[in-house]
Amino acid sequence: MINSSSDNVKKLNSINRRMFITGSLKFFVMIGIVSRLFFLQVKENKKYLTLSDKNRIREWKLAPVRGEFHDYFGNVIAGNFEAYQLHVIPEQVEDFRYVIYRLKDLLELSDNEFKKVLKKKNEIKPWETLIVSDNLSWQKFSKINNHLYDLNGVKPVISISRNYPFKENFTHLIGYVSQANQDDIESTQAIKKNFVPGLKVGKVGLEKTFEEKLIGTNDIERYEVNAYGRRISQLEFQKGEKGKTLRLTIDTEVQKLANELLKDKAGSICVMDIYTGAVVAMHSSPSFDPNLFVFGISQDDWQLIRNDPMKPLVNKTLQGNYSPGSTIKPIVALSALENGIVNTSFTVRCTGKTEMYGQTYHCWKKKGHGYVSLRNAMKQSCDTYFYEVARKLGVDKLSETAKKFGLGEKVFGDLFDIEKKGLIPNTQWKKNALGKGWLLGETIITGIGQGYIQTTPIQLCLMTAQIANGGYKIYPHIVVDDKAKDQPIDKFTPLYKNSKNIKIVQDAIFGSTNEVMGTSYRSRIDNPKYQFAGKTGTAQVKKITEEERELDLKTFQIPYEQRDHALYVAFGPYKNPRYALSVIVEHGGNGSTTAAPMATKLFKLIIDRHKIRESLRNKKYLEI
Amino acid sequence: MYQHTRLTTNRLGFFQKFRNFDYILLVCILLLGFISLATMYSTDGGEIKFHTKSHFTKLAVFTLMMLVMSFINIKYWFSIGYLAYVAVVGLLVGTYLFGITSSGSQRWINLYFINLQPSELMKIFIIVCLAKFFHRMKLENVNSIYTILTSLIIILLPMGLVIVQPDLGTAVLIAISGIAVLWFAGINYKYFIYTILGFIISLPFVIAFLKPYQKLRVLTFLNPDKDPLGAGYQIIQSKIAVGSGGIFGKGFLKGTQSYLEFLPEKHTDFIFTLFSEEFGFVGSAILLVIYAIIIYRIVAIGASSRSYFAKIFCYSFGAAIFVFITINMSMVLGLLPIVGSPLPIMSYGGSSMLATMIGFGIVMSARVHNQQLIA
């Protein structure tokens, strides 16, 4: 025996002592592990449970359903329709090449469109949806449905999309929607919040102004996903809210007539309720079909619209700065009466031209009007009379009255970001803007609405409405129930010093339309139900030289761009007025021959529809 | 000089051996096997697929092997101690020369019927070898230079062969197995203290020599949130899985982290994470208790063995298994850097299970032949 028993005992003592140490160590380490487990699983459980849910649950937002636009009578003028779309999820397709070529044949895709689809396919993950076509015709859609047996993984989908049933009728008013871009997302909170790829948002007009109300909220699908982002199962579907539907004060019938009247012409027609400020029609011509923009306009269509010399992209009602021409005369007359410069018996002798400050100023009538009083001058639109009145009045007093009646500032406030202010000049303005002193000659031409003065068609309409209603302030609006605009605190603030003066001007305008020698006499309606009063205007777009004056050319003999703008403002029915309108036809020649006859047709329709409109009115307005 | 007369004592019959079995240990091992099968079934997504089938086969074969081993007298295990060590070193050399490379590391050797990872076997056979080495040694010789150098060579040789694979994790575990034997053999405390001090001092230099991915692991461990989708991903996802399990777990087959594939390496190193997510704190505690009972039985068998070899093997094996378990759990719970060490029996992987079962087999043999003396 080599191992002595004493050595054995020592060895056993040693190993047992060390086993005891090891055992104790193990015990403590074990406690450490258990406390770590306790910490993670019991104490911090909530935190990790949240993290685990964040890992596995992912939300998919679907495009919200956009609110609609209705006209005053509840007709849908911007609605939603079911677009037939074709979706493919590439990973669910066995033979992608076969399917995509088959689709190309069935849909008759052009090579260009086909390339676009393939490019899109390469940009997305294989389990994401590839939209092959976003707006199929019913024929093609049903054709695809018939061939589905051999198109594995192709999904025909019905999706909600914007539709403008009246096409070009409301384009400038409502605007249109199109795919949201980076700017839209950054500038509007509601778009950012509800954004999904392919979301369509308002680009111009009311569609843009009321984006936040119209957009609605997303449907939200919650899916359980795996670590690679693949959907495993749907956990929840949260229905979104449809956007708010806005009812407008517009009458589609009148709007359609306005569109018809201005067909193939450039110009604008506005119709307004003179007591409520409700805009009944507002059209700018030429227009275009807003439906073209919903799924992205084609290059050809875009070029056609962009290069049209009549500028369909410009909203002439709000953006068009025009010289008001003779349509400013009621304001000049009113201002002179209010300031006590003239009275009804004040007369001026018109010889066809007058010399002032070394300049010759012509009346439109070469032979002259002879002796004219205010009423006659207005009726025959005598320029000489208003030269004299303006001279005596001075531009500063004139501009004060003009501004009071709504000229020179935005009619709709910030409702349309494109709206122009126009320009009502005065001496101070010229000094500030041009750094020159005001010339008296400039006052004189301002008196017939030429020179620096510029107005938009909607301003002229408002001006006429406020004269027609007896000289009270109104607040034009387009959207019904737009509370801020519907309940002005200072309702029916008088704009006049003496209501008699308004009556005098109204009467003079009446004469202009309804009496022999009146400039728009030929457009009158004798039936008192429809009888209206209006003032013509012919705005020069360039200075007429003496030579041209001698030639006395007819409108059709002048090149289009140099022809005068034809204007007309009117209100009716005369006995108990309710509506005011303004018509502008760009390069239309003469206000009395081009613009005034349109008013005749408009008043017939507007007044016929008044009863129906009145029956829908839910608010009482004070009679004045 | 050696006398072998005592070797003939205590010849046991088959049924006597059967009666000597440690049934508590056996039941615990079988229970662990069952749990591991259920967990493997869950990693396969609640279906019997490749991993479950393969794990079951290995479990069945190796459990049977363990039972057969327990009938073989402990003195035979003693006698093959050096031979087995040399054989496994040979396999490691073979692996170095003709090994199979997988994910950047040459760890496996093709033995025609099985792809073996010899480094796993070394975790056990280094204990057998060193236990034999110290078996006959007198206590006063244990701390001699010769003994210490020899035992260091025995440890460092396989370590070096594993490090070059490269597989630092397993090399460290082999070292721990070896050091456990040295500890129980009675190497002076001061050497352990010096080693620990030396290790701490040299740590910065060691880190400087680490491979970039190993350095990344250490850095990630220190701050996993720095790169949550890259290097920190595994540890963050593992902690989320364990933490979200709560007290009672998400339920069997309902671990979202695992079946939605957020959890990496869920079959192997992170099997405990999956188990913990589905069975919660209570389940994890029960699993820990089973492991604790197994380790306790191993130690108890060592204590009741008459031979010094059996004693030192059981103690060392118990300590090594304990360290393997703690390292794996600490790693998945975010207490240690990711080193790539399987959880014994639970993790998928044949070599690891084979090594563990061989260990259990020898322990069981020591139990059955606990009166056996080895000269």
Residues A202 and A259 in one domain: no
Please say whether the beta carbons of A262 and A234 come within 8 A.
no
> Is the model's pLDDT at A587 over the cut of 60?
yes
Nearest residue of A to residue B314 by CA position?
Answer: A19
CATH of the domain at A97: 3.90.1310.10
Q: Which of A579, A335, A341 shows the shortest CA–CA distance to A462? A: A579
* Residue A310, in any domain of the structure: no
Strand partners, A130: A88
Instruction: Tell me what the mean pLDDT of segment A347-358 comes to.
Output: 88
* Residue B2, in any domain of the structure: no
Domain range enclosing B32: 12-368
Q: What would the pLDDT profile of B8-66 be if each residue is shown by its tens digit?
A: 445 778 888 888 899 999 999 999 999 999 999 999 888 899 999 999 999 999 999 99
Residues A465 and A354 in one domain: yes
Residues A123 and A270 in one domain: no
Domain range enclosing A394: 252-289+320-616
The full 3-state SS of A113-176, as one line of letters, equals HHHHHHHHHHHCCCCCCEEEEEEECHHHHHHHHHCHHHCCCEEEEEEEEEECCCHHHHHHHHCC
Residues A585 and A443 in one domain: yes
Reduced to 3 states, what is the DSSP secondary structure of residue B279? helix
Amino acid A489: pLDDT: 45
* Residue A133, in any domain of the structure: yes
Reduced to 3 states, what is the DSSP secondary structure of residue B263? coil
Residue whose structure tokens are 């701050």? B223
Residues A493 and A365 in one domain: yes
CATH of the domain at A462: 3.40.710.10
Amino acid B229: pLDDT: 66
Note whether A48 contacts B3, CB cutoff 8 Å. no
Interface test with B, best of A1, A3, A8, A15 (most B CBs within 10 A): A15
Note whether A51 contacts B243, CB cutoff 8 Å. yes
CA distance B25 to chain A (A): 18
Task: Give the confidence band of A6 by pLDDT, cuts at 50, 70, 90.
Answer: confident
Q: What would the pLDDT profile of A256-295 be if each residue is shown by its tens digit?
A: 999 999 999 999 999 999 988 899 999 998 999 999 998 8
> Is the model's pLDDT at A619 over the cut of 60?
no
Nearest residue of A to residue B323 by CA position?
Answer: A26
Residue whose structure tokens are 């982002």? A229
* Residue B7, in any domain of the structure: no
Residue whose structure tokens are 């001007």? A505
Residues A203 and A344 in one domain: no
Residues A227 and A342 in one domain: no
Tell me the HSE value of B67 on the side-chain side, using a 13 A CA sphere.
Answer: 12
Please say whether the beta carbons of A583 and A568 come within 8 A.
yes
Instruction: Confirm or reject contact between A9 and chain B (CB < 8 A).
Output: no
Pair type for strands A177-179 and A154-163: unpaired
Residues A230 and A328 in one domain: no
Percent of chain B whose pLDDT exceeds 90: 63
What is the residue-wise DSSP string for A418-482?
Answer: T----B---HHHHHHHH-SPPPHHHHHHHTTT-TT-BB-HHHHHHHHHHHHTTSB----BSBTT-
Please say whether the beta carbons of A205 and A174 come within 8 A.
yes
Residues A378 and A478 in one domain: yes
> Is the model's pLDDT at B177 over the cut of 60?
yes
* Residue A264, in any domain of the structure: yes
- Residue A41 has its nearest CB partner, among B186, B245, B292, at B245
Domain count, chain A: 2
Residues A474 and A378 in one domain: yes
Whether the model clears a pTM of 0.90, i.e. scores above it, the answer is: no
Q: What would the pLDDT profile of A532-577 be if each residue is shown by its tens digit?
A: 999 999 998 887 777 777 777 777 788 888 889 999 999 989 888 9
Residue B282 tokens, joined: 């209570």
DSSP A77: E
Residues A272 and A170 in one domain: no
Residues A265 and A206 in one domain: no
Q: Which of A295, A297, A71, A301 shows the shortest CA–CA distance to A161? A: A295
Write the burial class of residue A110 (CB in 10 Å: 0-12 exposed, 13-18 middle, 19+ buried).
exposed
Note whether B299 contacts A29, CB cutoff 8 Å. no
Instruction: Confirm or reject contact between A260 and chain B (CB < 8 A).
Output: no
Please say whether the beta carbons of B340 and B48 come within 8 A.
no
Residue that is last in its domain, among A228, A247, A266: A247
Domain count, chain B: 1
Please say whether the beta carbons of A619 and A296 come within 8 A.
no
- Residue B329 has its nearest CB partner, among A26, A33, A38, at A33
Instruction: Tell me what the mean pLDDT of segment A38-58 comes to.
Output: 91
Task: Please list every residue in chain B whose beta carbon sits closer than 8 Å to the beta carbon of residue A1.
Answer: 3
* Residue B339, in any domain of the structure: yes
